[in-house]
Amino acid sequence: MNKMDAFQEDKMSLQDLYKEVGWITFKFPDGSKRIVRTTFNEEILRSVLKDKQDNDFYDLEKQVWRKLPSNDKVLIDITRSKPELNEIDEFANRYI
């Protein structure tokens, strides 16, 4: 398998998140990135669904509900494996 095939296999759609766990990468206009491991699968989220608000998604790593970014210029990628971040984004993601 070449790199392009592996990349395509790693990509997910929003619909895939209703069945499995994935990583969402939010790419902001300033070039920064935020990653969140999440799912929309109600079986997996059963114990925390009672606290869900509109436009929330669950951060499986930090075990909190998060709001979707409101900036319409944010790009979103969804993958099965954890994306690699640069050193600054990696540091910032620990505290966001």
> Partners of 59 in the beta sheet?
64
User: What pLDDT score was predicted for residue 8?
Assistant: 67
User: What pLDDT score was predicted for residue 71?
Assistant: 79
The domain limits of the chain are: 3-95
- Residue numbers in the chain where pLDDT is lower than 50: none
Rounded alpha-carbon distances, angstroms, from residue 36 to 3, 82, 83, 84, 85 = 24, 9, 10, 12, 12
User: What pLDDT score was predicted for residue 2?
Assistant: 56
User: What pLDDT score was predicted for residue 96?
Assistant: 76
- How many other C-beta atoms lie within 10 A of the C-beta of residue 80? 13
- Amino acid symbol at 8: Q
User: What pLDDT score was predicted for residue 38?
Assistant: 96
The strand order across the sheet containing 22-27 reads: 33-38, 22-27, 75-79
Q: Is the alpha carbon torsion for 31, 37, 41, 42 positive or negative?
A: negative
Query: Would you say the pTM of this structure is higher than 0.75?
Result: yes
Evaluate whether 57 touches 38 at the Cβ level (below 8 Å). yes
